[in-house]
Structure formats: C-alpha cells, structure tokens
Amino acid sequence: MKSSMDTALIALRDRMYRYARSILGSAPEAEDATHDTIERLLRRRRELRLCRNLDSFALTALRNRCIDRLRLRHEGERPQETLRSESDEVERWSNRELVRTAMARLPLRQREVLHMKEIEGYATHEIAEMIGTEENQVRTILSRARRQLRAEVEKLM
C-alpha cells in the first residue's frame, strides 16, 4: 500500500521531469535524473516526514542531481542535436521551439529560475528557498533571464 509520501512524490514526477529537462537539455538524461531522485527520496521516506515543503525539497534534490550530471560532462560539450525530418523542420521554427532553443542558450542559473517561475509557477520566495539565495537575487536573475531570452529569440528570428 502506498503512503501519502509515495503518492505526493509520484504526483511531482512530471514537474520534476520538466525541471530536469530544462536544466539538462536532454530527455533521456532528465528521465534518469528524475527516476534516480524519486527512488532516493522513497528510500528515505521516513526522514521526509519531517520535511516542511516536499515540493521544494524534491526539486532541490533533483536540481543537485542534475548539477552532478552536468559536472560529469566534458567542459564545453553540449548535447548533440538530433537530425530532423522535413516535417520536423516546420515544428522546429514554431514559437514553442524557438523559445525552447533560446532558453537552452541561457546560463544554467537563469534557465532554472525562469523555468521555476514561468513554467512551474513557483513564487519568488519559494524559488529563493530552493536555490539557497535571497528573494531580491531571484528577482534580479529573473529580470536578466527575461532580457537575455528576448535577445536570444530576436537572434533566432
């Protein structure tokens, strides 16, 4: 029988996967990082009962796992882009892909904060808690990320 902790973690799975994908830029790596993190958290479910905010804790653990994976990559190495068919070319230039491509060009910190705020809908104070900084710093990062994202989209158009 599943506990409420198990159910809560499983309910977070999609959100965790999207967050990992925004950091890692690779669907298979994001899936692996998400699975590993959920597995580790489930093994420590008794300790997690004392956790005030499971969402925040789980996403912080996932973020740390993703950063570990990024550190393992060679410096300067980026995930290879897959070859696309002609029909995929049309989709590639859709607004969604354009923004995704532009976001991938942002520095990691800006990308993750922008993702948490705009895609996952976290409040500024929650993001500050997750990444271990102050709210004002989160607002600064968001401002710079939005400015740079606009510039990247304009470059790609």
The four Cα atoms 127, 133, 134, 135 give a dihedral, to 10 degrees, of -20
* C-alpha span between 26 and 151 (Å, rounded): 23
CATH code at position 143:
1.10.10.10
Which of 20, 38, 73 is the last residue in one of the domains? 73
Q: Indicate if 101 and 59 belong to the same structural domain.
A: no
Does a structural domain hold residue 87?
Answer: no
Q: Is there a domain that residue 12 lies in?
A: yes
Q: What is the DSSP letter of 23?
A: H
Number of H helices, E strands in the chain: 9, 0
Tell me the mean pLDDT in the region 20-43: 89
Q: Give residue 118's domain range.
A: 92-157
The verdict on residue 157 lying in a domain is yes
Q: Is there a single domain that holds both residue 113 and residue 69?
A: no
Establish if 2 belongs to a structural domain.
Answer: yes
Number of domains in the chain: 2
- In this prediction, residue 8 carries a pLDDT of 79
pLDDT tens per residue across span 110-123: 999 999 898 888 89
Q: Are residues 18 and 69 in the same domain?
A: yes
Query: Which domain CATH number covers 48?
Result: 1.10.1740
74 pLDDT more than 70: no
With a cut of 80, say whether residue 85 has pLDDT above it. Answer: no
Tell whether 84 is covered by a domain.
no
User: If you average pLDDT over residues 60-76, what whole number do you get?
Assistant: 79
* Distance spanning both ends of the chain, measured CA to CA: 52
53 and 5, same domain (yes or no) = yes
Sort residue 132 into left (φ over 0), alpha (ψ -120 to 50) or beta: left
Residue bearing the bigger pLDDT, 95 or 156: 156
| Residue 96 resides in a domain | yes
Please indicate, yes or no, if residue 78 is contained in any of the structural domains. no
* Domain co-membership, 50 together with 97: no
Average pLDDT over the chain, rounded to whole? Answer: 81
